[in-house]
Structure 1
Amino acid sequence: MEALTPGGRADLVVIGRLVTPERVRPGAAVVAGGRVIAVTDVEDAPAGVPRLDAGDGYVLPGLIDTHVHFRGPGRRRAEGWGHGSRAAVAGGVTTVIEMPHTAPPLLDPDAVRAEAALVAGCSLVDYAFHLEADPRRPELLARPVPGVAAGAEVRVRLAGRRAASTVVRDPEALERIFAAAAAGDLPLVLHTEDGARSDGGFAALVIGLVRRYGTRTHLLRLSGPRETDLVAVAQAAGLPVTCELTGHRLSLDEAGTRGRDGTDRDRLWAALRAGEVACLSSDHATMPPSRAARETPPGIPGVQELATTVWTEMRRRWPDEDTDTAVLRLVDHLAVRPADLFRLPGKGRLEAGADADLVVFDPEAPWTFSAGDVHAGSGWSAYEGRTMAGRVLTTIRGGDVVWDGATRTFGSATGRWLRPGPPPSGGGTPVPVPVRPAVRSSRDRRPGIDAATFRNAMARLAAPLTVLTCYDSEGREQGLTVSAVGALSLNPPLVLVCLDRGGRSHDIVTKAEALCLHILGPGQEAVAGRFAAREDRFRGMRLAHGRVPELVDVPVRLICSPRELRDGGDHTILVALVDDVTIVDDADGGLVWHRRAVAHAVPADVPAPGPA
Structure 2
Amino acid sequence: MPPSPLAQPDLAGPADFALRGRRVVEGGGMGPAAVHVRDGIIIAVTAYEDVPLATPRIDVGDAVVMPGLVDTHVHINEPGRAEWEGFHTATRAAAAGGVTTLVDMPLNSIPATTNVVALAAKLAAARGRLHVDVGFWGGVVPGNDEQLEPLWDAGVLGFKCFLSPSGVDEFASVDEAELRTALSALARLGAPLLAHAELPEPLARAALAVAELDPRSYAVYLASRPRQAEQQAIELLVRLCRETGARIHVVHLADADALPLLRTARAEGLPVTVETCPHYLHFAAEGIADGATDHKCAPPIREAENRERLWDALGAGDIDLIVTDHSPCPPEMKGLDTGEFLSAWGGIASLQLTLPVTWKGARARGYTPVQMAEWMCAAPARLAGLEGRKGCIAPGCDADFVVWHPEQEFVVDPARLHHRHPVTPYAGATLPGVVAATYLRGRRIYDGGRFPNEGPTGRTLSRHTR
Aligned pairs (5 A) from 1:382-397: 382-397=425-440
Q: Is the counterpart of residue 80 in structure 1 residue 86 in structure 2?
A: yes
Residue 342 of structure 1 is matched in structure 2 by: 384
Matches of 2:340 and 2:359, distance apart in 1: 26
1:313 alignment partner, SS class: helix
2:274 alignment partner, SS class: strand
Residue 131 of structure 2 is matched in structure 1 by: 124
Aligned pairs (5 A) from 1:364-383: 364-383=407-426
Say which is worse superposed, 225-234 or 117-126, in terms of deviation.
225-234
Residue 292 of structure 2 is matched in structure 1 by: none
More helix per residue: 1 or 2? 2
Query: Which residue among 38, 41, 44 is the counterpart of 2:47?
Result: 41
Aligned pairs (5 A) from 1:190-589: 190-192=195-197, 194=200, 196-199=225-228, 200-253=231-284, 261-262=301-302, 264-287=306-329, 288=331, 290-291=334-335, 295=341, 298-316=346-364, 318=365, 321=366, 326-344=368-386, 345-405=388-448, 407-411=449-453, 412-420=455-463
Partner AA of 1:246 in structure 2: C
Q: What is the aligned-residue RMSD (CA, Å)?
A: 2.6
Distance 1:170-1:73 versus aligned 2 partners, 3 A rule? closer
Is the CA contact (8 Å cut-off) linking 1:138 and 1:177 kept in structure 2? yes
Partner AA of 1:108 in structure 2: N
Query: Which residue among 22, 36, 56 is the counterpart of 1:30?
Result: 36
Q: Is the counterpart of residue 61 in structure 1 residue 101 in structure 2?
A: no
Partner AA of 1:19 in structure 2: V
Q: 1:305: Cα distance to partner? A: 0.8
Q: Is the counterpart of residue 150 in structure 1 residue 157 in structure 2?
A: yes
Partner AA of 1:314 in structure 2: A
2:396 alignment partner, SS class: coil
Is the CA contact (8 Å cut-off) linking 1:157 and 1:163 kept in structure 2? no
Matches of 1:254 and 1:363, distance apart in 2: 27
Partner AA of 2:360 in structure 1: T
Q: 1:282: Cα distance to partner? A: 0.8
Residue 189 of structure 1 is matched in structure 2 by: 194
Q: Is the counterpart of residue 135 in structure 1 residue 148 in structure 2?
A: no
Percent identical residues: 32
Partner AA of 2:169 in structure 1: A
TM-score (norm 2): 0.81
Matches of 2:350 and 2:435, distance apart in 1: 15
2:91 alignment partner, SS class: helix
Is the CA contact (8 Å cut-off) linking 2:161 and 2:174 kept in structure 1? no
2:60 alignment partner, SS class: strand
Partner AA of 1:184 in structure 2: L
More strand per residue: 1 or 2? 1
Residue 179 of structure 1 is matched in structure 2 by: 184
Residue 508 of structure 1 is matched in structure 2 by: none
User: What do residues 477-516 of structure 1 show as CA deviations (whole Å, max 9, x unaligned)?
Assistant: xxxxxxxxxxxxxxxxxxxxxxxxxxxxxxxxxxxxxxxx
1:409 alignment partner, SS class: coil
Is the CA contact (8 Å cut-off) linking 2:33 and 2:47 kept in structure 1? yes
2:370 alignment partner, SS class: helix
2:284 alignment partner, SS class: coil
Query: Which residue among 51, 66, 69 is the counterpart of 2:57?
Result: 51
Q: 1:408: Cα distance to partner? A: 2.9
User: Which one has more relative contact order, counting CA pairs under 8 Å at least 6 apart?
Assistant: 2
Matches of 2:168 and 2:389, distance apart in 1: 38
Is the CA contact (8 Å cut-off) linking 1:282 and 1:306 kept in structure 2? yes
1:244 alignment partner, SS class: strand
Partner AA of 1:153 in structure 2: K
Higher-Rg structure is 1
Matches of 1:127 and 1:356, distance apart in 2: 16
Query: Structure 2 regions of 5+ residues with no counterpart?
Result: 1-13, 204-224, 289-294
Partner AA of 1:301 in structure 2: A
Distance 1:136-1:129 versus aligned 2 partners, 3 A rule? same
2:368 alignment partner, SS class: helix
Matches of 2:194 and 2:86, distance apart in 1: 22
Query: Which residue among 15, 18, 25 is the counterpart of 1:19?
Result: 25
Say which is worse superposed, 54-63 or 165-174, in terms of deviation.
165-174
Is the CA contact (8 Å cut-off) linking 1:284 and 1:300 kept in structure 2? yes
Is the CA contact (8 Å cut-off) linking 1:33 and 1:399 kept in structure 2? yes
Number of aligned residues = 405
Q: 1:403: Cα distance to partner? A: 0.6
Residue 95 of structure 1 is matched in structure 2 by: 101
Say which is worse superposed, 130-139 or 81-90, in terms of deviation.
130-139
Query: Structure 1 regions of 5+ residues with no counterpart?
Result: 1-8, 423-612
User: What do residues 430-449 of structure 1 show as CA deviations (whole Å, max 9, x unaligned)?
Assistant: xxxxxxxxxxxxxxxxxxxx
Partner AA of 1:281 in structure 2: V
Partner AA of 1:262 in structure 2: R
Distance 1:291-1:283 versus aligned 2 partners, 3 A rule? farther
2:161 alignment partner, SS class: strand
Q: 1:143: Cα distance to partner? A: 5.9
Partner AA of 1:150 in structure 2: L
Distance 1:298-1:213 versus aligned 2 partners, 3 A rule? farther
Is the CA contact (8 Å cut-off) linking 1:198 and 1:262 kept in structure 2? no
Distance 1:134-1:389 versus aligned 2 partners, 3 A rule? same
Is the CA contact (8 Å cut-off) linking 2:163 and 2:233 kept in structure 1? no
Partner AA of 1:234 in structure 2: A
Matches of 2:82 and 2:92, distance apart in 1: 18
Query: Which residue among 93, 106, 111 is the counterpart of 1:104?
Result: 111
Q: 1:130: Cα distance to partner? A: 0.5
1:262 alignment partner, SS class: coil
Partner AA of 1:156 in structure 2: L
Is the CA contact (8 Å cut-off) linking 1:68 and 1:97 kept in structure 2? yes
Matches of 1:205 and 1:334, distance apart in 2: 27
Q: 1:383: Cα distance to partner? A: 1.1
